[in-house]
Structure 1
Amino acid sequence: MIATIPAALASAAREFGSAPALEGLGWDRLFAEVRRVARALIAGGIDPGDRLALWAPNSAPWVLTALGASYAGATLVPVNTRFTGVEALDVIHRGGARGLVVTGPFLGTDRLAALRAAAEEEGIPLPRLVVTIPEGWDDFLAGGEAVPDGEADARAAAVRPDDVADILFTSGTTGRSKGVMSAHRQSLAVAAAWAGTAGLTPDDRYLVVNPFFNSFGLKAGILACLVSGAAIVPQAVFDVPRTMALIREERITVLPGPPTLYSSLMDHPDARLDGLTSLRLAVTGAATVPPALVERMRKELGAEVLTAYGLTEAVVATMCRPGDDARTVAETCGRAAAGFEVRIGEPGGEVLLRGPNTMLGYLDDPAATAAAIDAEGWLHTGDIGRLDENGYLTITDRLKDMYICGGFNVYPAEVERALARLPGVAESAVIGVTDPRLGEVGRAYVVRRPDHPLTEAEVVEFCRGRLAGYKVPRSVEFRDGLPHNASGKVLKYLLRAEAVDG
């Protein structure tokens, strides 16, 4: 079994040859371009085991950089494109990145300028190697011309299945982000499992709207295509007209995404669903999926619809199977996949996972690792669920306070920590409330300090300067006090119940 990303690249070049891989490149030419990137990274001083941060939207250079890092024996550290400079700097610094590849101005923000400003403010140096795309891309590649192909190939051959392939940072319930480490064998195994269930082949054209920086976009996206030969079609930002145009022009067959993606496509006033007939598969999750939406997707898009469940620490743990009925797809997350065992812990009904693809652990945090994975190897997910007689999992609640806004996980403790830095805030609590477009959005309950007449606009603007857009509360309610238990913990379930009643 192929168990390293460099070996999978070489295999794809041999097996799939000139079949479409990425923006005009066949798998053989993509392999050649990845080797060029690896040579450039070697020339730039990246050694085996070094970490390379990548802060850019979905694009061909993202794919080439990520695969090139693996080929050069480095570990990939993706950075969320919605992060502010302060948030990105934290990931790059704690991730120990020796190099950084960063996009130029994107969505009105100069990422590198924001990063430099944050570095100056915090007194933290940036990595020695900094490459901007697309501006500095050609010069970066040219720098690798002095490195022989054989040197890059030797680096690739030295990579072992248990070497760390990637470190994906995700926030925890305490609000402090944790770096989830996965080995090459694990990243490839979950990719192969997803591709197998989805039935990916070289005839497929896969539109990847899910961000490459998260585990789904990277492993169930890029790597799933790598092991199956499906063509990767990246989209930097979800935009309904552009997505519809890509489906028509590229003859897209596979389109995963959160439920809001599909409803946005079907409800758009300019929707031409007759032009989307190439779609054969839609995979969704990350939120409750109404049975009516599954039926509508199957009817109007003409695609098979599957749901799945996973988390950064496990990527793909359960998945529905082709042929499952609409109610099963809508009301469950499928059954165990990718070698996982699933059981419901007692008491409390927490979903527990165990298998060869559970993360290696959290970067530099053995205490958090021990808290997440018990002595018997079970990963404690923090989600509440139940299993039916066929082994299909239904998520019923979250032990954690996390909510999902537009497909992105939001951890209230992180938002509350930001609010605590706002002068005038005595206490705050953040919950997710239902939103018809984004699934859930944040609502902040704020207790003001005496003689500090904060307004909702001031609170929201303060958060915008410190948090990614999806984390910023959409509404603020001021209170004289918040409900607490005997130990002083805010009783958020009362706030949630009040929000539902409201």
Structure 2
Amino acid sequence: MRGDEEWGSVPGLVRSAARRYADVEAVVEGRTRVTYAELGERVERATAACVASGVAPGDRVAIWAPNSLDWMVAALGAVSAGAVLVPLNTRFKGGEAADVLRRSGARLLFVTGTFLGTSYVASLRRALADGPGLPALEQVVVLSDDAPADYRSWKDFLAGGDGVDEAEVRRRAASVRGSWPSDIVFTSGTTGRPKGAVITHAQTLRAYAIWSELAGLRQGDRYLIVNPFFHTFGYKAGVIACLMRGATMIPQPVFDVDTVLANIAAERVSVLPGPPTLHQSLLDHPSRTAHDLSALRLVVTGAAVVPLTLVERLRGELGVETVLTAYGLSEASGVVTMCRRGDPPSVIASTSGRAIPGTEVRVADPTGAPLPAGTPGEVLVRGFHVMRGYYQDPVATAEVLDPEGWLRTGDVGVLDEAGNLRITDRLKDMFIVGGFNAYPAEIEQLLGLHPDVLDVAVVGVPDPRLGEVAKAYVVRRPGSVTTADDLIAWSRREMANYKVPREVEFVGELPRNASGKVVKGRLRGPGRAADAV
């Protein structure tokens, strides 16, 4: 078994990619096209600027910006200087961003100027004016050509590193050890305050070497990265995996189906990971057939609900050679199980595949005792990729990591006889109907089979007789006139009575975070983001 140091470090990966794939196109962003050799040079310049700015090994450096070439250069430059990267969710408000900056003790922040009509600089300033301040934060660098007087522009920041000796830059990068923390990924916070999972360089590189191999990512692939970089799926299954394999990265800052279609056709995109909703939107777009999507060969998706029809349509209508599902979480470096190429569509649609090499997966009862195949319980994970803990939060760490190294995921799942894992829900989302455990994701999977249901989310709501019952929020397909009574009657024919929704509310869209997860707290509460129609 290779030790942490043998897996190397992220800066070592950047230098290796610049050398091995020197003339290969690394990044395409609009009219900007950068080779791997040029990307390596840009990262070295950003590393020099970090060194000149006083960034020391172990310092936390945050980045609050959408997917872009500058995001990659800034982040990889900071990590190459020995810093621990703290990516911030682009959907955070100023106060939420300030909270993560405060708790991580970030010394340097890279921030976008304006994104989706919001000035992030102004949002941060308001949060700091209203809050307790950020005593650890010494510098803010705006990823644009200009910045307020007390902040620095990206151009000015980079120029500050021009006086740093090239040999010093390379020494700093070479000093980074595989056992060092590489990033602190704060959880999405759909069920509470975000917590920062500490992941090392070696964990990242080993996990995504496996991911790339199982997915079949290869040199020459052109990878459209729509998944946000602040999320493991975007940064590690995207940027890190591409650096490993010499694939071309095409960052897209926000999901827009028209832009996705245009990018796939114009750039001959061959790889498109993302949540099921992304691929469903692509398939259902009225102008899809006007675009040449023939280069698309690899799709990796993951969620509790992946309709079989989605897998079949991707293969049949788009001719996608490989469609895989996977399961992961930030606390386990983003990947735990994956389907394998060659698995039948039924396995790909109904499970998240088997444990990746070096990983153990157990379905357990509340005491942690393993349950037999076919029995639902909490998913426990143990392996090389499990986080070192939550940053400066030993109490929260002890709640999810036991002394034997098992991580309590908080997810409910079932293992089949072949070891394939099917996620049925979050423990916190499960509700009890007259003594029966009801799993929203299972009900959603069944409702998704209805021909008029485009998207669906199920939550438990109080019931005076049964304790709780299911309520479904449904997005109808365009032109559908299906009523709530129709869906309830259909459900009574298709599922056990305790699973049947007692209420159906039709909505224009479901509230999702930037990672594509439905924010069910906003459906349960009075301030729902979904508009009833």
C-alpha displacement of 1:475: 5.5
1:326-365 aligned at under 5 Å gives the runs: 326-347=345-366, 349-365=377-393
Segments of 5+ residues of structure 1 without an aligned counterpart are: 413-428, 439-462, 479-502
Q: How many residues end up aligned between the 2 structures?
A: 429
1:390-409 aligned at under 5 Å gives the runs: 390-401=418-429
Question: 1:311 aligned to 2:316?
Answer: no
User: Do the aligned partners of 1:173 and 1:400 also contact (CA within 8 Å) in 2?
Assistant: no
User: Do the aligned partners of 2:53 and 2:160 also contact (CA within 8 Å) in 1?
Assistant: yes
Letter in 1 for 2:216: G
Distance of aligned partners of 1:160 and 1:476 in 2 relative to their CA distance in 1, 3 Å threshold? closer
Identity of aligned residues (%): 51
**What CA distance in whole angstroms lies between the structure 1 residues aligned with 2:179 and 2:266?**
40
2:23 aligned partner: 18
Question: 1:387 aligned to 2:404?
Answer: no
1:255-274 aligned at under 5 Å gives the runs: 255-272=272-289
TM-score, L = length of structure 2:
0.76
C-alpha displacement of 1:54: 0.1
User: Do the aligned partners of 1:168 and 1:312 also contact (CA within 8 Å) in 2?
Assistant: yes
Distance of aligned partners of 1:230 and 1:171 in 2 relative to their CA distance in 1, 3 Å threshold? closer
1:133 aligned partner: 143
User: Do the aligned partners of 1:190 and 1:338 also contact (CA within 8 Å) in 2?
Assistant: no
Distance of aligned partners of 1:273 and 1:435 in 2 relative to their CA distance in 1, 3 Å threshold? farther
1:50 aligned partner: 59
Report Cα offsets for 1:337-393 as digits up to 9, x if no partner: 152111111256111111011111100111211211111111111111111121111
Letter in 1 for 2:10: I
**What CA distance in whole angstroms lies between the structure 2 residues aligned with 1:401 and 1:367?**
23
**Secondary structure of 1:77's aligned partner:** strand
**Secondary structure of 2:317's aligned partner:** helix
RMSD, aligned CA: 2.7
User: Do the aligned partners of 2:262 and 2:291 also contact (CA within 8 Å) in 1?
Assistant: no
C-alpha displacement of 1:94: 0.6
1:436 aligned partner: 475
User: Do the aligned partners of 2:304 and 2:424 also contact (CA within 8 Å) in 1?
Assistant: no
**What CA distance in whole angstroms lies between the structure 1 residues aligned with 2:518 and 2:120?**
17
C-alpha displacement of 1:21: 0.8
Distance of aligned partners of 1:396 and 1:473 in 2 relative to their CA distance in 1, 3 Å threshold? closer
Q: Give the counterpart of 2:344 among 311, 321, 325.
A: 325
Report Cα offsets for 1:371-428 as digits up to 9, x if no partner: 11111111111111111121111112221339999xxxx9x9xxxxxxxxxxxxxxxx
1:62-461 aligned at under 5 Å gives the runs: 62-125=71-134, 127-135=137-145, 136-171=153-188, 175-272=192-289, 275-303=292-320, 304-314=322-332, 315-347=334-366, 349-401=377-429, 433-436=472-475
Report Cα offsets for 1:68-92 as digits up to 9, x if no partner: 1111111100000001001111011
**Secondary structure of 1:353's aligned partner:** strand
1:492 aligned partner: none
**Secondary structure of 1:87's aligned partner:** helix
User: Do the aligned partners of 1:259 and 1:287 also contact (CA within 8 Å) in 2?
Assistant: no
Report Cα offsets for 1:309-343 as digits up to 9, x if no partner: 00001110000111111110000000011521111
Letter in 2 for 1:9: V
User: Do the aligned partners of 1:205 and 1:251 also contact (CA within 8 Å) in 2?
Assistant: yes
**What CA distance in whole angstroms lies between the structure 2 residues aligned with 1:224 and 1:475?**
35
**What CA distance in whole angstroms lies between the structure 1 residues aligned with 2:129 and 2:201?**
35
**What CA distance in whole angstroms lies between the structure 2 residues aligned with 1:472 and 1:393?**
23
Distance of aligned partners of 1:476 and 1:284 in 2 relative to their CA distance in 1, 3 Å threshold? closer
**Secondary structure of 2:115's aligned partner:** coil
Distance of aligned partners of 1:469 and 1:308 in 2 relative to their CA distance in 1, 3 Å threshold? closer
**What CA distance in whole angstroms lies between the structure 1 residues aligned with 2:105 and 2:421?**
37
Letter in 2 for 1:370: A
Letter in 1 for 2:323: V
Distance of aligned partners of 1:36 and 1:306 in 2 relative to their CA distance in 1, 3 Å threshold? same
Distance of aligned partners of 1:313 and 1:338 in 2 relative to their CA distance in 1, 3 Å threshold? farther
Segments of 5+ residues of structure 2 without an aligned counterpart are: 1-5, 146-152, 367-375, 431-439, 445-456, 460-467, 478-510, 527-533
C-alpha displacement of 1:476: 6.9
**What CA distance in whole angstroms lies between the structure 2 residues aligned with 1:317 and 1:295?**
24
**Secondary structure of 1:333's aligned partner:** coil
**What CA distance in whole angstroms lies between the structure 1 residues aligned with 2:202 and 2:472?**
39
Distance of aligned partners of 1:174 and 1:88 in 2 relative to their CA distance in 1, 3 Å threshold? same
**Secondary structure of 2:118's aligned partner:** coil
Letter in 2 for 1:52: V
C-alpha displacement of 1:17: 1.6
C-alpha displacement of 1:46: 1.2
C-alpha displacement of 1:18: 1.0
Report Cα offsets for 1:265-296 as digits up to 9, x if no partner: 11112212651110001111124011111101
Report Cα offsets for 1:150-205 as digits up to 9, x if no partner: 11111111111110100011156862221100000011111111111111111101
Letter in 1 for 2:78: A
1:28 aligned partner: 37
**What CA distance in whole angstroms lies between the structure 2 residues aligned with 1:38 and 1:200?**
28
- Post-superposition, which runs of at least 4 consecutive aligned residues in structure 1 deviate over 3 A? 171-174, 401-405, 431-438, 468-478
C-alpha displacement of 1:302: 1.1
Distance of aligned partners of 1:437 and 1:134 in 2 relative to their CA distance in 1, 3 Å threshold? farther
Report Cα offsets for 1:79-108 as digits up to 9, x if no partner: 000010011110111111000000001101
Further displaced range: 268-277 or 158-167:
268-277
Letter in 1 for 2:475: P
Report Cα offsets for 1:223-270 as digits up to 9, x if no partner: 011111111110001111111111011111100111111111111122
User: Do the aligned partners of 1:37 and 1:141 also contact (CA within 8 Å) in 2?
Assistant: yes
Letter in 2 for 1:307: T
User: Do the aligned partners of 2:304 and 2:423 also contact (CA within 8 Å) in 1?
Assistant: no
Distance of aligned partners of 1:70 and 1:199 in 2 relative to their CA distance in 1, 3 Å threshold? same
User: Do the aligned partners of 2:190 and 2:519 also contact (CA within 8 Å) in 1?
Assistant: no
